[in-house]
Amino acid sequence: MFYAKNLPMLERALRITLGLGLIFLGMFYFQAGVRSPAGMLSAGSGLVSVATGFLGFCPACAMLGRKLDKPARTRGG
């Protein structure tokens, strides 16, 4: 892979869930006009949130130096 995952599973699930909620909110609740700016902003940010949740990588977190702790491997057996 070209990137190291920097989001834990709980945060990934939350991003996907909340992102889908933002997309729904933008598509149905903010449809005051044909293309409501608030609806487009909400749906766009929801789309980014869902994408980062599925990929497990957040570019903003990477710029801040956030990394996942890797579990220690046991040797031998």
pLDDT tens for each residue of 19-44: 999 999 988 877 665 678 888 899 99
Nearest to 44 by CA among 23, 58, 63, 30: 23
- pTM for this entry: 0.78
Percentages of the chain per state (helix, strand, coil), in multiples of 5: 60, 0, 40
Neighbours of 58 (CB within 10 A): 22
Render pLDDT for 39-58 as a digit per residue (tens, 0 to 9): 889 999 999 999 999 999 98
> C-alpha distances in angstroms, 28 versus 14, 43, 72?
21, 10, 46
Q: Write out 42-59 in H/E/C secondary structure.
A: HHHHHHHHHHHHHHCCCH
